[in-house]
Amino acid sequence: MIITLIGPPGSGKGTQSSRLTKQLGIPHLSTGELLREAKREGSSRSRAIAERIDAGQLVSDELIFELVDERLSSPMYQAGCLLDGVPRTLSQARMLNDLLRARGTKLDHAVALIAPQEDLVQRLLARALTEGRTDDTPETINRRMQIYDWETAPLLDYYRLHKLLRLVSAEGTPDEVFHRVMSVLQPHCWCATVRG
Ligand code: B4P
């Protein structure tokens, strides 16, 4: 089973991913984490990544798919995975379709986490105090929110049209959101895949 989690910054993609991978028994692939790892390499590629992320901008589609393709080649992803943060644009959605088709598989669900922007900004500002992520400054958060509205939100209509969209409210505690996500996935999941 292949699931993608879509949502604005702070909607809980990373937070829900760690719960979902345990529950569903599928590995997690976060493009944000892949980029933060690549950023630490100290190469010319990492400097380009750092510039984009720290400015709240998206990294190029080509670089994202170089990293995703490389990671999906690992045998641990053969039985499926939970994609977190990709696709973020319509062109990435098409690239993902092509990549999965070439591997003889396809996306099963696009779970979209939705919450009021004011709440999300508060979560990210709170994270800035504890984790000190370079892209969690007020100005960068604002830029990331705009980019979500312009580039990523159109994916909701795209996946609705393809009958893959599962909309979930991301308001409330992480546990409440997790139960909502599971309740939209469960009718579509193989019983054996869902643990617990
Ligand atoms: P990501 O790492 O995906 O960053 P994010 O959108 O902020 O989500 P994240 O998963 O970290 O946070 P979460 O919502 O779980 O991307 C970082 C950057 O990488 C992007 O801005 C972009 O530049 C680049 N990038 C990534 N993918 C890309 C792609 N495909 N194409 C191009 N560029 C790409 O949680 C946020 C905070 O909220 C946490 O502190 C958490 O504890 C808290 N929280 C979560 N759920 C909560 C809840 N229900 N209640 C209270 N707090 C909650």
Q: Mutation test of ligand 1: which of 17, 29, 54, 59 has the most ligand atoms closer than 8 Å to its C-beta? A: 59
The pTM score is 0.92
Ligand 1 atom at minimum distance from 11 CA: 14
Segment among 20-29, 37-46, 71-80, 183-192 with least mean pLDDT = 183-192
User: Can you give the pLDDT at residue 189?
Assistant: 67
The pair of structure tokens assigned to 34 is: 């892949």
pLDDT tens column, 15-43: 999 999 999 999 999 999 999 999 898 88
pLDDT band at 68 (very low <50, low <70, confident <90, very high): very high
62, 95, 189 from 102: Cα distances, Å: 17, 11, 24
pLDDT digit string (tens) for 158-178? 999 999 999 999 999 999 999
